[in-house]
């Protein structure tokens, strides 16, 4: 493995030259195809840590879909139901466990995942490569590639698709440094281990935490560890269903994450599942049309945009029908990278099926927040672990 890699450019095309290098050793990855840029490597190295830790914590293949150094989606390789297959746009594919993980990671927020960076915890198999082949994506990092899978990926984007192979045995130094505006900053890297014990301090009246809820709290909390702060994450059935990242207000994080999660579950509504698009429409245009179809507040131009996706314009799903569907939800997990300063986040989360909540605790209003969770029958765990990521 080389000790230095010349990059296409930095964060923006005018930021040249750019490179990646290691002091006193080789880089922990090799380029198998394409040529990465600065942002590609930020996404690759963050997403690799997420899928590696997620797979280790739950003993399942894991995948992540990264955009701008935060996960648009992350999941473990649980089988997809027929409804989930349609929602993830993979109803026509044979899926391995690893491909199922990426289908879930990509499918939860297909608009945000457009042009993503992909991370896989296991060597990329043919089923996963076939799924990647037809999605708009910038690159992938994995600990290896089956010969045919690498051949498929190497032909993507006219032969320029970026493929990185990571050394699975690489362990970084415990102290990390960065330079900002000429100033060097140094800290111990965030090596906190997220597992079942993280959620042992239950502070709510509801103390029933089933294995599925624990699994989803682990998924949501590990995702937060590699999401730009402030952040709140919702998860269900082994996958992220909504992430609110990079907001300055905790409740805005929650609203964004819950709104995205609502869209994921609304995509599974029978009326949405039965939508029939006009012939020849692209996958991206189909995703955009569904998003507009489910949006209540549209301009005339946006109305025309979603209607144009169909030969026969379907009847819009009513607000009452949307609310009835979402009110039937239960068992969604929510994790926050810092404490809730007010109860407003719990009030919003209650409308999105949230039953399990994890947060560090430590607010002067902890008792108010716990009382809010109790009023909705939520289980709440104080982790004592803040997970800011910048």
Q: Quote the tokens at residue 330.
A: 């239960």
Could you check whether the bond before residue 17 is cis, i.e. omega within 30 degrees of 0? yes
Does residue 269 carry a catalytic annotation?
no
Catalytic residue, chosen from 68, 206, 252, 374, is: 68
Please report, for residues 112, 219, 224, 256, 274, the alpha-carbon distance to residue 388 in angstroms, rounded to integers and kept in the order given: 22, 16, 8, 18, 41
Does residue 67 carry a catalytic annotation?
yes
Q: Are strands 379-382 and 354-359 parallel, antiparallel or unpaired?
A: parallel
DSSP strand E in 77-147: where?
A: 116-120, 137-142
Q: Quote the tokens at residue 308.
A: 């144009």
Catalytic residue, chosen from 46, 67, 225, 236, is: 67
Catalytic residue, chosen from 33, 46, 230, 287, is: 230
Reduced to 3 states, what is the DSSP secondary structure of residue 94?
Answer: coil
Please report, for residues 6, 138, 187, the alpha-carbon distance to residue 182 in angstroms, rounded to integers and kept in the order given: 21, 30, 17
Please report, for residues 50, 196, 370, the alpha-carbon distance to residue 75 in angstroms, rounded to integers and kept in the order given: 10, 17, 28
What lies within 8 Å, CB to CB, of 64 at 6+ separation is: 47, 50, 51, 54, 71, 73, 74, 75, 105, 118, 119
Phi then psi for 56, rounded to 5 degrees? Answer: -65, -40
Give dist(CA 380, CA 201) in Å, integer. Answer: 9
Give dist(CA 264, CA 87) in Å, integer. Answer: 8
Q: Which residues pair with 379 in a beta bridge?
A: 206, 356
Q: Quote the tokens at residue 271.
A: 């009326």
Q: Are strands 29-33 and 162-166 parallel, antiparallel or unpaired?
A: antiparallel
Does residue 390 carry a catalytic annotation?
yes
Q: Which residues are catalytic?
A: 67-68, 230, 390
């Amino acid at each position: 493995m080389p000790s230095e890699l010349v990059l296409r450019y930095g964060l923006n095309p005018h930021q040249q030259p750019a490179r990646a290098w290691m002091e006193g050793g080789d880089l922990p990855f090799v380029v198998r195809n394409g040529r990465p840029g600065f942002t590609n490597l930020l996404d690759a190295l963050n997403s690799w840590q997420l899928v590696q830790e997620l797979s280790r914590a739950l003993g399942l293949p894991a995948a992540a879909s990264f955009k701008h150094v935060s996960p648009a989606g992350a999941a473990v390789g649980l089988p997809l139901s027929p409804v989930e297959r349609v929602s993830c746009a993979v109803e026509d594919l044979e899926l391995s466990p690893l491909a199922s993980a990426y289908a879930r990671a990509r499918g939860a927020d297909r608009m945000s995942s457009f042009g993503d960076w992909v991370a896989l915890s296991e060597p990329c198999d043919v089923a996963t490569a076939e799924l990647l082949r037809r999605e708009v994506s910038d690159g992938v990092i994995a600990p290896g590639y089956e010969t045919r899978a690498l051949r498929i990926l190497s032909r993507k984007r006219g032969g320029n698709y970026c493929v990185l192979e990571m050394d699975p045995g690489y362990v970084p130094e415990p102290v990390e440094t960065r330079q900002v505006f000429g100033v060097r900053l140094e800290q111990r890297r965030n090596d906190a281990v997220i597992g079942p014990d993280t959620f042992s301090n239950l502070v709510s009246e509801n103390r029933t935490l089933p294995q599925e809820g624990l699994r989803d709290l682990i998924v949501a909390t590990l995702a937060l560890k590699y999401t730009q702060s402030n952040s709140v994450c919702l998860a269900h059935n082994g996958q992220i269903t909504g992430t609110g990242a990079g907001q300055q207000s905790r409740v805005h994080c929650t609203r964004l994450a819950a709104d995205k999660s609502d869209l994921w579950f609304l995509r599974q509504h029978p009326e949405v599942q039965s939508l029939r698009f006009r012939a020849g429409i692209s996958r991206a245009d189909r995703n955009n049309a569904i998003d507009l179809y489910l949006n209540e507040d549209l301009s005339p131009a946006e109305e025309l945009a979603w209607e144009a996706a169909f030969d026969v314009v379907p009847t819009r799903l009513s607000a009452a029908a949307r609310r009835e569907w979402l009110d039937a939800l239960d068992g969604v997990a929510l994790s926050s990278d810092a404490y809730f300063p007010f109860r407003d986040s719990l009030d919003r989360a209650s409308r999105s099926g949230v039953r399990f909540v994890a947060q560090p605790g430590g607010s002067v209003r902890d008792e108010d927040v716990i009382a809010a969770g109790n009023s909705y029958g939520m289980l709440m765990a104080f982790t004592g672990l803040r997970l800011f990521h910048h």
